[in-house]
Amino acid sequence: MTTSTEHAAPDTALSLRRLPAWYRAMFSADLAERFSFYGLQAVLVLYAAAPRASGGLGLDMGDAAALFGAWIAVTFTLSLPGGWIGDRLLGARRAMLLGCVVSAAGLALLAVPAGVTGAVGLCVLAVGGGLFKPNQEAVVNLMFAGARERESGISLMYVATQISALGAPVLIGLLGERVNWSVAFLTCALAVLLAGVRVAFAVRHFGEVGAAPGLPLAAEGRRRLARRTTLYVGVPVLVVVLLMATGVIGATTLVSLAGLLCLGVSIGGYVSTYRINELTAADRRRLRAFLAVLLGTAAFWAVVAHAGSLLNLFARDHVDRSVAGFVFPASWLQSVTPLLILLLAPVLAVALPRIGGRNRVAVKFSIALLLVGGGFMVMALAVSVAATGPVSPLWLVAVYLTAACGEVVIAAVAIAATVDVLPRAYLGRMLGLFWLFSALGAAAGSGLVRLSEVIAPAVYYLTLGGVALVAGAAFAVFRTRLTRSLAPAEGPDYPDRKE
């Protein structure tokens, strides 16, 4: 059933001493695009909660935190259609380039000091992120030969991500909190444009990988798609924008709509993938088993997404940020997680392939969820201590350490495992499905965050941590069953599984 027009690239070997040219290009492009993403992530909730007099949106804490979660969720949700566009319409490389241009346009709109324009900008930015990330991951996956090499390569790619995530909050946070929010957003726009330029000038290093859609859509299918997109996407979006402009829809309603969108698209995306006629019984068996991985990913992000919302506001209001008389911006603490990941990623890139043996997916998911669950138990203690006055930033450092370890493990293992589920022609779609369930988790987190206003903060964090611990324990208990069900197939439609 080989339908892809792509062929192996001339140089796919990965060595820490000699990185191939294609990998260096993707490394630097990811560095620039993630700088934009993490810069906005560091300041969005602070911008939303800032008074209108200082250029912010003037939202209360619950709405600001929920708006942040909704943006993350919608960005992840749009990864499914973004991956599909790469698979069926544009090819992964052109979809990446389009994603960079669209993201820059969204950030430019966000820089306009008006509430409605900012909301539209966030939506446009989510479209750009949904186009870029699954297609970038598809190209990286297709350039590698085996599962272990992919895990190491993706883990090392996290170095690029975390270099950006380390520097972006420092620069963008300083610009936003101390200079001007619009300047911060325009700086993010410049960074994402640089990512597109890097990919555009490196096309010769990729061979045919990502140059064309793996399963092109016929002309009639394209016409039908245009009609349906106009009817089911264009019209509803126009209605929502008009209702926002007239003040009928506010931030709370917008967040609720985002949550419903994530839930509906997650279910629909999985079901429609499962019903693909060309899939074999073995393909569907692996897809059923992979649902456990997708739900584990959702549980992880439901917890970790709080770092950019509630934990960011906790840093602003309850952490002693004074150093030698200088009070550093709250957003700077968002650099702690990437700093830790930056230190850990090279080690984990070497260690990850050795953990778990044949049950590596289940074992590593268990470890990641147990880590983040333990971190939120620490957070429950931190908020109790903060009731008597400002606390040391080391409390947040401890929580971010567990999230950093868990994030490296979850991302590398889940993305690498995605390649082995369905034939290669559906890789972009599968990566979009992975990010779609990440969106479901972020959407759940944005809904749950409102509970922090009506229940004791310590109880809230204990509950979140407990859910993650239970999920981690479940992966440990059922590790052998999951491994059997995910057993990869062999054949020309699948990547070479050199171990």
The phi and psi torsions of 327 (rounded to 5 degrees) equal: -95, 105
The predicted structure's pLDDT at residue 11:
53
Say how many CA atoms lie within 13 Å of 418 toward its Cβ.
30
Dihedral through CA 112, CA 176, CA 192, CA 148, nearest 10?
-140
Q: Which residues pair with 319 in a beta bridge?
A: 391
Calculate ∠ Cα 98-238-105, nearest 5°. 30
| Ordered structural domains, the chain, with CATH | 21-485 (1.20.1250.20)
Integer Cα distance of 371 and 471 in angstroms: 11
Contact 255, 67 (CB under 8 A): yes
Integer Cα distance of 380 and 378 in angstroms: 5
* Total number of residues shown for the chain: 499
SS3 324: coil
The predicted structure's pLDDT at residue 453:
76
Say how many CA atoms lie within 13 Å of 258 toward its Cβ.
32
C-alpha dist (Å) from residue 326 to 160, 316, 321, 322, 330: 30, 14, 8, 5, 12
Contact 51, 204 (CB under 8 A): no
Whose CA is closest to 141, among 428, 421, 437, 360? Answer: 428
Contact 390, 51 (CB under 8 A): no
Contact 375, 404 (CB under 8 A): no
Residue holding tokens 């506010």? 250
How does pLDDT run along the chain (499 residues), one tens digit per residue?
A: 334 434 444 455 555 456 778 888 888 888 899 899 989 988 888 888 888 877 787 777 777 777 777 787 788 778 778 888 888 888 888 899 999 999 999 999 888 876 667 777 888 888 898 889 888 878 887 777 666 666 667 767 766 677 888 889 989 999 988 888 999 999 999 999 999 999 888 888 777 776 777 777 777 776 777 777 676 666 666 776 676 666 666 656 666 676 677 778 888 888 888 888 888 888 889 889 889 989 998 889 888 888 878 888 888 888 998 888 888 888 888 888 878 877 776 676 677 667 767 787 888 889 889 999 999 999 999 999 998 889 999 999 899 888 888 887 787 778 778 878 888 778 767 877 887 788 788 778 777 877 877 888 899 999 999 999 999 999 989 888 888 888 766 544 444 444 4
Both tokens assigned to 366: 């268990």
The terminus-to-terminus CA distance of the chain in angstroms comes to: 24
Say how many CA atoms lie within 13 Å of 33 toward its Cβ.
31
The predicted structure's pLDDT at residue 240:
66
The predicted structure's pLDDT at residue 369:
93
The predicted structure's pLDDT at residue 17:
55
Q: Which residues pair with 327 in a beta bridge?
A: 322
Checking 475-479 for CB contacts under 8 A at 24+ apart, the result is 475/292, 475/296, 475/362, 475/363, 475/365, 475/366, 475/369, 476/362, 476/363, 476/366, 478/292, 478/362, 479/356, 479/359, 479/362, 479/363, 479/366
The predicted structure's pLDDT at residue 233:
65
Q: What is the largest CA-CA distance in the chain?
A: 67
The predicted structure's pLDDT at residue 120:
78
The phi and psi torsions of 87 (rounded to 5 degrees) equal: -70, -40
The phi and psi torsions of 18 (rounded to 5 degrees) equal: -145, 95
The predicted structure's pLDDT at residue 3:
41
